[in-house]
Structure 1
């Protein structure tokens, strides 16, 4: 592990020495060939580097390594290193042992082999490490070395504008705003799945069908097997919505099976179906993201009926200094109203992003109501400050409080209070250049009546900062 980290430090050091000098404003201009690094590195395509004139970045020589005269067969290499510090004062509102902060490290290295336009093999290794946390690493803190992605793509061109691709193997899945299926970017160990994905693309219309099982997160080298106690399947479609300018519509169905699912009501086998729709727009000045989901199925011998409605609306005043964006997020997800019965009404977010409300991850998207005003200030093109204040209530006072992994944090049986508390937060986001980014976040959670009545209810201070290098 020390050798693995030393190689990464050397790579980052050499790359920083090779970077162009920044402009007087503090930012270098990205090259014309810049396509950006995507959330899932498997979604990147460096075929454009067949044109030598576009080879302008330090790492371009390893992004396109041709094997034949036409350049249609090529290998692309890439990776990432993230060094992160995290500190909680009164972790879990005083229920967990106090520590003095700890370090989280995450490393990725991948290879993308393109054998013409219709055949592809992608593989990615990851190493996630933790140092100094009192009580040891959390489940998503440590995974010493493992195969994170390894899949085969077979592509069929149906016409000049339409294609059908079958992806089989270990892969990341992320859909929409990642309320139900995500790569789990916030925590140290990201989520991947073993299974199949069928992708149809034509113009702006996209639809995926998938059937997979999550990959286990185990601590040691090459021990992440398939979690056969869980399964995910469904279909997700994205299309333009012409009734609203620059609007888009997502419609989807997802099914999940968990052999042992735990809620405040108890533990049982769960089969759950989710039907959802999302209406969204990202263009300024008005951006929005509205989503509604209904769930049904079985929990042991009982029936499931659950739901959620979420919204995120923002307006950017580009003519003002700092180009402020004023936003308001309002969400609600059902909780169990009658835990004494076998039926279940708690919403299940399936495999959501680990930092759903904040990087602190104190509260997950089940049995909650939240109202979150925010303001984004753009100090420069690549430097932003975000301030927000999130207020939380329980949707059902008969159900408990859950975290991002849908694990019960506090039972609802010891308090009838609805108000959970609020969290104020400030974030600094700095894209230093194409490869290097820096984030710093501080938040303070003010514990409300439910937390104080159900157990330790201390206020929580949270601080995290990280530096990420990608190539």
Structure 2
């Protein structure tokens, strides 16, 4: 898939005859264009902009979404987990966005995520009956021209770059949010964020998600134009992480980790690309951390051909621990990555891996895309094990010296039925490689998921 830039904060969208698409983070939407009655064409427009004063600078915007999802695994975890015959996942959001003039805003969002029928019960990111997902206050200052500075405090979603490091965790049933503070600068093509936060817990019951006081996240993320490359951009960032108890192949200990990285990207057809490089250092128990990752995603779209095919190649690598008996740690930590990092199946997570993933995207219509890809996986270090998408180690690295983990071809269909309703269907088959067969059950995995989502 193509890389996307850091999601900008809300801003003036200008008049538009057609409603804009919904954003990944619903807090990034702006409905001031509905001040003009001529722009009100959608069924939900009466609740998207509810003026509270004569001038229209005080207004309320309401919205929500529902996702009904089915998942099926044959030989989950390559035969290691109880056999599933399919289960249902449901997710619901409702939000209110109150603008008190041009400079003060309060946004609040509730989330309900439910699971039904999974053998072994719900995974940690499957179920959260009802909780406060976002609730923050914005104070925005105009700096002149199109430059603004916003102070944000409260519970909020964070998502940067292609969400390899910090994400909203869209794939799993329960999305991720954070409790903390954020400063946001927007000026022309320049975007700079500073943040200090703790991840919100994901607990199963009603209004029981407090801040996770055993973890802390802080940093600065910037997006800048790159004039040397036509329509190119560059991200520069520093991110700090503290975890009171972090687990890797060599054990569990206190972790303080610092990450510096850069991302060079372009999304404009016909050539799109995304290159990201990151280095980490810090401490793990009594040892020192030295870890790294490099990622690339390059594609070319043949716009003049039928179905406008995009041919792409993704290649990634992340370091693994070199010696579990040595207190120093070389395993990469992806911090808070998107749950569907390589695929919606979530079998493999972004720790100690090498992957090569050719793909082709076919645009069946303007609103329907069919993607075929085949992902091949190896371990970067044979001294470290295999981790899943939740960053938990699922196979020890001590029972096999094989690099090759296996491969997974997939077919993915994305259909935007209209602005509100979308349908997705995915099938993948994981061919277990030598490492999986030597380290435990090594069955091939069949995976099917499909969902219907509605937003307003």
TM-score interval for Structure 1 and Structure 2 normalised by the shorter chain: over 0.9
Describe how 1:288-367 pairs up with structure 2 within 5 A: 288-367=273-352
1:32 and 1:272 mapped to 2: Cα distance?
Answer: 48
Map Cα deviations across residues 71-110 of structure 1 (whole Å, 9 max, x no partner). Answer: 0000000000000000000000000000210000000000
Runs of 4+ aligned structure 1 residues displaced above 4 Å come to none
Q: Secondary structure at the match of 1:386?
A: strand
Shift in Å, 1:32? 2.2
Give the one of 153, 177, 185 matched to 1:200: 185
Give the corresponding residue for 1:376.
361
Give the corresponding residue for 1:387.
372
Give the corresponding residue for 2:26.
41
1:136 and 1:32 mapped to 2: Cα distance?
Answer: 47
Give the corresponding residue for 1:410.
395
Q: Secondary structure at the match of 1:61?
A: helix
Are 2:209 and 1:229 equivalent residues in the alignment?
no
Are 2:278 and 1:278 equivalent residues in the alignment?
no
1:404 and 1:348 mapped to 2: Cα distance?
Answer: 12
Give the corresponding residue for 1:151.
136
Are 2:441 and 1:456 equivalent residues in the alignment?
yes
- Count the aligned residue pairs: 441
Q: Secondary structure at the match of 2:221?
A: strand
Instruction: Report the structure, 1 or 2, having the larger helix content.
Output: 1
Map Cα deviations across residues 154-203 of structure 1 (whole Å, 9 max, x no partner). Answer: 01111122111000000000000101000000000000000000001110
2:262 and 2:318 mapped to 1: Cα distance?
Answer: 15
Give the one of 202, 214, 230 matched to 1:217: 202
Describe how 1:75-114 pairs up with structure 2 within 5 A: 75-114=60-99
Give the one of 174, 178, 181 matched to 1:189: 174
2:118 and 2:252 mapped to 1: Cα distance?
Answer: 30
TM-score normalised by the chain length of structure 1: 0.93
Map Cα deviations across residues 125-157 of structure 1 (whole Å, 9 max, x no partner). Answer: 000000000110000000000000000000111
Q: Secondary structure at the match of 1:36?
A: coil
Structure 1 contact 351–405 (Cα < 8 Å) conserved: no
Structure 2 contact 190–225 (Cα < 8 Å) conserved: yes
1:457 and 1:108 mapped to 2: Cα distance?
Answer: 38
1:323 and 1:155 mapped to 2: Cα distance?
Answer: 42
1:460 and 1:403 mapped to 2: Cα distance?
Answer: 14
2:119 and 2:426 mapped to 1: Cα distance?
Answer: 21
Q: Secondary structure at the match of 2:33?
A: helix
Give the corresponding residue for 1:72.
57
2:357 and 2:17 mapped to 1: Cα distance?
Answer: 38
Give the corresponding residue for 1:238.
223
1:432 and 1:79 mapped to 2: Cα distance?
Answer: 18
1:193 and 1:75 mapped to 2: Cα distance?
Answer: 24
TM-score normalised by the chain length of structure 2: 0.96
Q: Secondary structure at the match of 2:192?
A: strand
Structure 2 contact 270–302 (Cα < 8 Å) conserved: yes
Are 2:134 and 1:139 equivalent residues in the alignment?
no
Q: Secondary structure at the match of 1:141?
A: coil
Give the corresponding residue for 1:58.
43
Q: Secondary structure at the match of 1:413?
A: coil
Give the one of 137, 145, 155 matched to 1:170: 155
Structure 2, unmatched stretches of 5+, are 1-15
Map Cα deviations across residues 296-349 of structure 1 (whole Å, 9 max, x no partner). Answer: 000000000000000000000011111000000000000011111000000000
Shift in Å, 1:233? 0.1
1:340 and 1:311 mapped to 2: Cα distance?
Answer: 32
1:368 and 1:206 mapped to 2: Cα distance?
Answer: 31
Shift in Å, 1:450? 0.4
Structure 1 contact 120–153 (Cα < 8 Å) conserved: yes
Structure 2 contact 63–94 (Cα < 8 Å) conserved: yes
Give the corresponding residue for 2:17.
32
Structure 1 contact 191–214 (Cα < 8 Å) conserved: yes
2:289 and 2:139 mapped to 1: Cα distance?
Answer: 38
What's the C-alpha RMSD, in Å, of the aligned pairs? Answer: 0.6
Q: Secondary structure at the match of 2:398?
A: helix
1:347 and 1:52 mapped to 2: Cα distance?
Answer: 52
